[in-house]
Amino acid sequence: MFAGLFGKRDLLLPVTLLGLAAALGVSAMSLSTGDAGWGTQYTSMFSFDKYAQSFTAITLTSVLLLAGMSSWGFRTLNSSLGDHYALILFSLCGAVCMFSFTNLVMLFIGIEILSIPLYVLAGSRRDDLASNEAALKYFLMGAFATGILLFGMTLVYGSTGTFNTAAIGAAVERGVASPGMLKMGILLLVVGLSFKVSAVPFHFWAPDVYQGSPNTVTAFMATAVKTAGFAAFYRLFSTSFLGVNEFWSVGIAAIAGLTMTLSNFTAIFQTEFKRMMAYSSISHAGYLMMAILVAGQPGSAGAILLYMLTYSIATICAFSAYIVVAEPNGDGSFAAFNGLSKKQPLVALVMALSMLSLAGIPPLAGFFGKYFLFSTVMQQYPWLVVIAVINSAVSVYYYLKVIIAMYFTKEENTYEVLIPSSIRWVMVAGVVIITLLTVLPGNIFGLI
């Protein structure tokens, strides 16, 4: 993390990768041994339980791939390269806090550790007005949302008298003296967290920020950050607020339905790949919101985990394919992909697999993500599943646009597409993971 200080530019990536791999190794090991980890000593703040471990593992996997991608994605950066890695890793620390918190204070701190580096990262292309704009939008709205979140936390604290999530849960079960305040607090929390996971109508920042940020950062935001947001959302609601779930489930259900519908329909109109991916990311948030609805049900946490993993891997693969096509040529529209299957079959294949996976077309991994999610929700909210199903049908349309450009469009552009070896490795690794998830999705689902 501090290697940049020594100006050892070449060492940065290996160190980062090593560190991430080591962390992944540790979390995987503790997962397999069932070890509660070192979290026991900090139970009032953290609990590094199975839930946290598995989410950490999948996030580390994503970030590992992202880091591989970044070696090329950040190639133009010189002095600030070390800062970038450091910021990403800081942000990752925040994410881990959000996976493992047992206290609202830690949740708040995790979110801030996650977000503040992101504000910087979003604006990291200082001379690019789009990047500036993205940073400002993200920052202002993020700060605003933080305020709302904090107000919510305060009200919950006021009504239950504690920040400890388990204790809150117990208090909510018992019933509190001022239920109105509690309800208000919960709703404000919903607003704040919905902002983080970019659920409608708190999603407005997402398309603009995704589009304006540097590609690698966008990929990071769309994957690891979103994972952290949902993991925290789920963790909080499943431990603390199950007692009054009839109350908040109405709002969440409405948000879920709105999110997927609005984002999918809007995505149809996009001509820029990155912006399309932003809406796609919002739509996935919509599906995932359904999992919050059934928080506490057996399998719901596993469903989020699997969904997040399949979604993250596919998104990273898609972005890695996107940057090799779009960055050198400065064209991020779908037309940039025309005839790609002839020029670079591997890139086209990776992109096609990612798109089909994101669309949830069997037998690709994304389907199983959706499947587990939908089947968990089905029992309680069949009508919501039907909306989700219709929406995934709509989503097929824009995902296929890329495939159509790559495989079926006869007129070709003159862009030259080269694959750097690091990206190639990311792609291969991504495809291998997608394949593994396709064959054995149950193993991930069963982790929690």
Partner 1 sequence: MLEIIKTVPIEYYLLYSTVLFCIGVFGVLTRRNAIIVLMCVELMLNAVNLLLAAFSTYLGDAQGQIMVFFIMVVAAAEAAVGLGILVMIYRNTKSTDISLLDRLRN
Partner 2 sequence: MVGIIGAGSLLASFLLTVMCLNQVGASGPIQSTLYHFMSIDRLSLDFGFLVDQLSVWMMMIITGVGFLIHVYSIGYMHDDEGFYKFFAYLNLFVFSMLLLVMGDNFLMLFFGWEGVGLCSYLLIGFWYTNRDYGTAARKAFIMNRVGDLGLLLGMFFIIKTFGSLAYKDVFAQLAGADPAMVTVICLLLFVGAMGKSAQIPLYTWLPDAMAGPTPVSALIHAATMVTAGVYLVTRCNGLFSMSPDAMHVVAIVGLVTAVFTAIIGLRQNDIKKVLAYSTVSQLGLMFLSLGMGAYVSAMFHVTTHAFFKALLFLSAGSVIHGMGGEQDIRNMGGLRKYMPVTFWVFLIGTFAISGFPLLSGFFSKDEIFANTYAHGGAIWWAMASVSAVLTAVYMCRLLYVTFFGEFRGTEEQRHHIHESPSVMTIPLMVLAVLSVVGGLLNTPHFMHLPGSQWMAHWLAGNGVNGTPIVPMAEVHLSASTEWSLMSFTTALALLVIVALYFVYGKVANLPVSDQKQTGFTKVVANKFYVDELYNSLFVKPTEALSKFLYQYADIQGVDGVVNGVGTGVSKLGAIFRRLQNGNIEYYLIGMVVGAALLFLTIFI
Partner 3 sequence: MSFLLIIVPLIASALLLLARPSGVRQIALAVGVVNFAISIFAAYSALYDGTVNHETNIAWIEQAGIRFSVGMDGIGILMILLTNLLTPLIILSSQSQRIDNEPRYYGLVLMMVAALNGVFLSTDGMLFYIFYELALIPIYFICAIWGGENRIRVTLKFFIYTFVGSLFMLVSLLYLYLKTPGTHSFAWTDLVNVQLSTVEAIWVMLGFFFAFAVKMPVFPFHTWQPDTYVTSPTGGTMLLSGIMLKMGVYGAIRWMIPMTPEAWHTLTPYFMALAVTGIVYASIIAVKQSDFKRLIAYSSIAHVGLIAAGVMAWNKMGLQGSLIQMLNHGINVVGLFFVVDLIERRLGTRTLRQMGGIAKVAPRFAVLFMIIMLGAVAVPLTNGFPGEFLLLNGVWQYNNWLGAIAGLTIIFGAVYMLRAYGMAMFGETNAETAEFTDLDGRETAVLGIVAALVLVLGFFPNIILQLTDGTVNRILGSVQF
Query: Smaller CB distance to partner 3: residue 135 or 309?
Result: 309
Name the minimum Å distance from CB 313 to partner 1.
27
Count interface residues toward partner 3 (CB under 8 A). 33
Name the minimum Å distance from CB 56 to partner 1.
23
Compute the radius of gyration of the chain from its Cα atoms: 21
* Residue list 297-336, contact with partner 3 (CB under 8 A): 299, 302
The CA–CA distances, whole Å, from 330 to 172, 263, 342, 416 equal: 54, 26, 20, 12
* Residue list 162-181, contact with partner 1 (CB under 8 A): 162-163, 181
The interface mask with partner 3, positions 425-444, x = CB under 8 A, is ---------------xxx--
Name the minimum Å distance from CB 286 to partner 3.
16
204 lies in the site for partner 2, by CB under 8 A: yes
356 lies in the site for partner 3, by CB under 8 A: yes
Query: Smaller CB distance to partner 3: residue 21 or 404?
Result: 404
- Under 8 Å between Cβ of 404 and 275: no
Among 220, 368, 381, 415, which residue sits at the site for partner 3 (rule: CB under 8 A)? Answer: 368
161 lies in the site for partner 1, by CB under 8 A: yes
Name the minimum Å distance from CB 150 to partner 2.
14
262 binds, among partner 1, partner 2, partner 3, none (CB under 5 to 8 A by kind): partner 2
Query: Smaller CB distance to partner 2: residue 268 or 389?
Result: 268
The CA–CA distances, whole Å, from 274 to 263, 320, 344, 388, 389 equal: 14, 12, 20, 23, 24
250 lies in the site for partner 2, by CB under 8 A: yes
Residue 272 bridge partners (DSSP): 333
**CB-based burial of residue 10 (10 Å sphere; 0-12 exposed, 13-18 middle, 19+ buried)?**
exposed
> What is d(CA 12, CA 329) in angstroms, rounded to the nearest whole number?
27
The interface mask with partner 2, positions 173-192, x = CB under 8 A, is -------x--xx--xx-xx-
12 token code pair: 């940065």
38 lies in the site for partner 3, by CB under 8 A: no
> Per-residue DSSP letters for 149-184?
HHHHHHHHHHHHS--BHHHHHHHHHH--S-HHHHHH
- For helices 104-122 and 226-240, the axis angle rounded to 10 degrees is 160
Name the minimum Å distance from CB 393 to partner 3.
4
106 token code pair: 């830690």
265 lies in the site for partner 2, by CB under 8 A: yes
Q: Count CB-CB contacts under 10 A for residue 394.
A: 16
> What is d(CA 357, CA 369) in angstroms, rounded to the nearest whole number?
9
> What is d(CA 55, CA 164) in angstroms, rounded to the nearest whole number?
21
Going by C-alpha positions, the residue among 127, 128, 98 that lies closest to residue 115 is: 98
> What is d(CA 400, CA 373) in angstroms, rounded to the nearest whole number?
23
Would you tell me which residues interact with partner 1 (CB under 8 A)? 104-105, 108-109, 112, 116, 119-120, 123, 126-127, 129-130, 132-137, 139-140, 143-144, 146-148, 150-151, 153-155, 157-158, 161-163, 181, 207-209, 211-212, 269-270, 275
Would you tell me which residues interact with partner 3 (CB under 8 A)? 299, 302, 356, 361-363, 367-368, 371-372, 374-375, 378-379, 382, 385-386, 389-390, 392-393, 396-397, 400, 404, 407-409, 440-442, 445-446
